[in-house]
Structure 1
Amino acid sequence: MTAPAAERPDLSHQGHPQRWLILGVICLAQLVVLLDNTVLNVAIPSLTSELHASTADVQWMINAYSLVQAGLLLTAGSSADRYGRKKMLMVGLALFGVGSLVAGLAESSGQLIAARAGMGVGGALLLTTTLAVVVQIFDETERVKAIGIWSTVASLGFAAGPLFGGFVLDHFWWGAIFLINIPVALIGLVAVARLVPESKVAQGDRPDLLGALLSTIGMTAAVFAIISGPEHGWGSGRVLLTAFLGIAVLAGFVLWELHIPNPMLDMHFFRNQKFVGAVAGAILVAFGMTGSLFLLTQHLQFVLGYGPLEAGLRTAPMALTVVALNLTGVGARMVRTFGTPAVIAAGMSCLAAGLVAIAVLGGRDGGYGGMLFGLIVMGGGVALAMPAMANAIMSAIPPEKAGVGAGVNGTLAEFGNGL
């Protein structure tokens, strides 16, 4: 199935003439979304004291965003394919901006949790449409490099969140970490309206409403079970019931998608070994990167006594390594030379080695040298693996399903974050 020419932007063989400027715009929008995945990590002490937030409140402030985002990513991607990627990108920016305003002015834990959930809706639309637009405006010769830059921003957003949050908290009150998103959202809206071409598929197929509902419920329940396990115990009734619900509903989603003529997610994609390998790798990279950053920022503040900005600065080398390697195109050149599987394997090996270095060397007498070495090695692994995996996932999916492909990529990342 291919999208009619009238429904896709008229691109030359070399891609859209303003493709690099468009990439900069959508990367800026993506950055603020991903910063909000980790920016609250360093704000926990401030939220606890100023909003009188309990441990459960803080968990929900963090989890409301990721739960809603994870649950809606596939549906958001499918909506972007059907109703227009540019249109959904603008809707996502608007929702994210409004949610940030409410969060920044929140006067209670409940208000902040609700605002974070609203931001998650906008974030789901933004994460799927940005990658889908990249696939649409770049041809195959430049796509790996463009996805590498996109992945750099994704890594930078996760890794720079603690640094950004620490800087803001050292100079302003905690609400500023949300209010600063508003001008970025406004700039993004204007730039997207002027620069990004519209692209969507034909409206002939009926929307897969039941598939959207099942994927949303299933993913939300599965991620909730994962993030609730450490607090309530993996054997508790709440966790087991939610996990069973998530698995059962996702199984129903798979069966439904296999038996309808126009599925939201074609399960036959999983017959592609490159696609399956990239899927598994995306979960593991998100698990290693996000989990280590969450623990390290808490360790640096609560155990070693650093302030928010100092903690953020000490986790920044990983982000800087990712940026340096991807902006120089190292990952893209290695994919062309050695192939996608070899580059993914090398990146995953570096990520594992970095985690081992932090665990073995980072805690020795509270020294920072071992931690620094591990963060740099992890950054190298992420820089190699993430662009290669994203490109493998998107290459296995037809261009008219680019939004769904981006939804798969984002869903796996959120699943790994939850782990």
Structure 2
Amino acid sequence: MVEKTGRRWWALAALTLSVLIVGLDGTIISVALPTLSDELGATSAQLQWIGGGYLLALSVGMLPAGLLGDRYGHRRLLVSGIALFGLASAAGALAGTAGQVIAARAVLGLGAAMITPLSMAILPKVFGKDELPRAVGVWTAATAVGMPVGPLVGGWLLDHFWWGSVFLFNVPVTVLAAAACLRLLPADGPRVRDGAPFDYAGTLLGTLGIIGLVYGTIQVPEHGWGSASVLVPLAAGAVLLALFVRRQRRAAAPLVDIGLFADGTFRWGAVIAVFVNFAVMGLLFVVPQYLQAVLGNDAFGSGLRLLPLIAGLMAAATLAESLVPRLGARVVIPAGLLLLAVATLLGAATNPGDGYAMAAGWLSMAGLGFGLAVVPATSMVIGALPEDGAGTGTSLLETIQQLGGVLGVAALGSVLNAGYLARLSVAGLPAPAAHAARGSVTGADAVAARLHDEALAASAHGAFVHGMNLTLLVCAGTALLAAVLGVVFLPGRARGAQAPPAAAPQEAARAGELPA
């Protein structure tokens, strides 16, 4: 039997490394898009699908990943996902056309869809319920760190190497992550041979439904919410997902266990996690643009200036572990949500002339609130999962969070755009210049620089800040609503602090599973 004290934390390091590369890749490509446009001749539509193809594959792949992990082994499927991620990264680095980059990004999305839910499903195999909140906090921090650090790393790579370096960067990291997972994670048991057929019909319904929702959402920035190219796929996706849910309730071997929502702990933990994800994704959508377009930072500098958010999250991960047993989830999670709401309300009071100091203050507060809410909520959800169905449960959670985040960014992007257009003044500009200025604040800056029009630049910056403030108000309202739900429905201190019986033998058994 292996002494567990140090080994389980090294196992957590392997898991966090695997999700860190996913977080990095989700945003590192954003800074490379202008370069891809110049060097590969990528059109606007192709640039959109470099991001959209990844998002579609990620959303679709999460549903079957958990069930396959439960049947064939979480570590096996996790390492396979990491290997697929590394191979797709190498292919992306060698791509010669925009179409090849889109294909590589889609395969990257499939790899990421295997990595995220399966790494989460392994956490309760390594940690008992007393230490699970701390482990979830570290794991959550790793997923969040990648988002602001991605542009920072990408900007540095593009300053020193060719565009393919943003893909090639992943390859040695995936090799290290796969080796660490094989060495440090609990070995899988024998493959499950229960004879239950794989739910191909459910997979098809779920896949097409998610494609409809995500595809329709991707079209929003270009066509608007009232367009048939948006409404038709959204409606079709909603109908198909309703049929998917109906089938999952009746199937002998469902792809996901819809019955998990009958457990109040899982249900409300998942709902609050989705609300928190919605608010934070909105924040991460607008703030990098503010840091670059209004405050004038490059991608590298913007990534550095988002670090207070991560610092707050990491502090919260430590606090949550001690606060939940004392105060209960019903106190800690709503308190974190209220802190997140206050932070975004402070952000919504931003003026065009404000500097970074104010933003650093409310970003660190937002990170603290985010961590106090999402870490206990995720721990509750994981703790409510049956041991033999952890993969399907985490896949279900990650899928609904992913869909909530995608739809949220589209909705909040519309709020941002409406606020921007409402305040932007393009009077006296030629029609092509006015069109470019209306398209984005960066477009307005380019027109202003070309025409030496300081008034246009000032108008665009003020208009963007107005749109950002409206977006942050919606984020604050979302966090407040989630706080109310938490107070009403979450378990109190007695249940939140409850430890499983015979915890010590269970932890000893987990330690014995860890490889020497």
Q: Deviations over 1:309-331 (max 9, x none)?
A: 112112221122212332xx211
- Checking the alignment, whether the CA contact within 8 Å between 1:32 and 1:181 is kept in structure 2 is yes
Tell me the C-alpha RMSD between the 2 structures.
2.1
Amino acid at match of 1:307: D
Q: Deviations over 1:94-113 (max 9, x none)?
A: 11001111112222221111
- Checking the alignment, whether the CA contact within 8 Å between 2:78 and 2:114 is kept in structure 1 is yes
Q: Which residue of 2 aligns with 1:217?
A: 208
- Checking the alignment, whether the CA contact within 8 Å between 1:75 and 1:215 is kept in structure 2 is no
Q: Which residue of 2 aligns with 1:59?
A: 48
**2:392 aligns with one of 389, 398, 404:** 404
Q: For 1:112 and 1:90, locate their aligned partners in 2 and report how far apart those are by CA, in whole Å.
A: 23
- Checking the alignment, whether the CA contact within 8 Å between 1:43 and 1:165 is kept in structure 2 is yes
1:226 aligns with 2:217: yes
Which stretch of the first structure deviates more once superposed, 183-192 or 112-121?
183-192
Q: For 2:148 and 2:372, locate their aligned partners in 1 and report how far apart those are by CA, in whole Å.
A: 16
Q: Which residue of 1 aligns with 2:67?
A: 78
Question: Structure 1 stretches (4+) deviating beyond 6 angstroms?
Answer: 14-17
**2:192 aligns with one of 197, 202, 207:** 202
- Aligned residue runs from structure 1 range 230-379, under 5 A: 230-326=221-317, 329-361=318-350, 363-379=351-367
Larger Rg: 2
Give the 3 Å change call, closer, same or farther, for CA 17–163 of structure 1 in structure 2.
closer
1:171 aligns with 2:178: no
Q: Which residue of 2 aligns with 1:128?
A: 117
5+ residue gaps in structure 1?
Answer: 1-10
Amino acid at match of 1:203: R
- Checking the alignment, whether the CA contact within 8 Å between 1:221 and 1:242 is kept in structure 2 is yes
1:179 Cα deviation from its structure 2 partner: 0.8
Amino acid at match of 1:325: A
Which stretch of the first structure deviates more once superposed, 106-115 or 120-129?
106-115
| Aligned residues between the structures | 405
Q: Secondary structure at the match of 2:300?
A: helix
- Checking the alignment, whether the CA contact within 8 Å between 1:16 and 1:137 is kept in structure 2 is no
Which protein has greater RCO, CA pairs closer than 8 Å, 6+ apart? 1
1:17 Cα deviation from its structure 2 partner: 7.4
- Checking the alignment, whether the CA contact within 8 Å between 2:74 and 2:188 is kept in structure 1 is yes
1:414 aligns with 2:402: yes
Give the 3 Å change call, closer, same or farther, for CA 104–320 of structure 1 in structure 2.
farther
1:98 aligns with 2:87: yes
Amino acid at match of 1:368: Y
Q: Deviations over 1:120-153 (max 9, x none)?
A: 1111111111111112121222112111111111
Give the 3 Å change call, closer, same or farther, for CA 415–16 of structure 1 in structure 2.
farther
Q: Secondary structure at the match of 1:45?
A: helix
**1:387 aligns with one of 340, 353, 375:** 375
Which stretch of the first structure deviates more once superposed, 351-360 or 228-237?
351-360
Q: Secondary structure at the match of 1:317?
A: helix
1:16 Cα deviation from its structure 2 partner: 8.8
- Checking the alignment, whether the CA contact within 8 Å between 2:17 and 2:177 is kept in structure 1 is yes
1:15 Cα deviation from its structure 2 partner: 6.9
Give the 3 Å change call, closer, same or farther, for CA 337–308 of structure 1 in structure 2.
same
Q: Secondary structure at the match of 2:219?
A: helix
Amino acid at match of 2:100: Q
- Checking the alignment, whether the CA contact within 8 Å between 2:212 and 2:236 is kept in structure 1 is yes
Q: For 2:355 and 2:219, locate their aligned partners in 1 and report how far apart those are by CA, in whole Å.
A: 32
Give the 3 Å change call, closer, same or farther, for CA 401–391 of structure 1 in structure 2.
same
Give the 3 Å change call, closer, same or farther, for CA 170–386 of structure 1 in structure 2.
farther
Q: Deviations over 1:236-264 (max 9, x none)?
A: 11111111111111111111111123322
Amino acid at match of 2:134: K
1:66 Cα deviation from its structure 2 partner: 1.6
Q: Which residue of 1 aligns with 2:507?
A: none
Which stretch of the first structure deviates more once superposed, 385-394 or 85-94?
385-394
Identity of aligned residues (%): 35
Which stretch of the first structure deviates more once superposed, 202-211 or 388-397?
202-211
Q: Secondary structure at the match of 2:253?
A: coil
Give the 3 Å change call, closer, same or farther, for CA 168–70 of structure 1 in structure 2.
same
- Checking the alignment, whether the CA contact within 8 Å between 1:325 and 1:380 is kept in structure 2 is yes
Q: For 2:6 and 2:386, locate their aligned partners in 1 and report how far apart those are by CA, in whole Å.
A: 22
- Aligned residue runs from structure 1 range 150-161, under 5 A: 150-161=139-150
Q: For 2:149 and 2:360, locate their aligned partners in 1 and report how far apart those are by CA, in whole Å.
A: 15
5+ residue gaps in structure 2?
Answer: 409-516
1:340 Cα deviation from its structure 2 partner: 2.1
Which stretch of the first structure deviates more once superposed, 156-165 or 180-189?
156-165
Which stretch of the first structure deviates more once superposed, 118-127 or 380-389?
380-389
Amino acid at match of 2:346: A
1:161 Cα deviation from its structure 2 partner: 2.1
Q: For 2:329 and 2:378, locate their aligned partners in 1 and report how far apart those are by CA, in whole Å.
A: 10
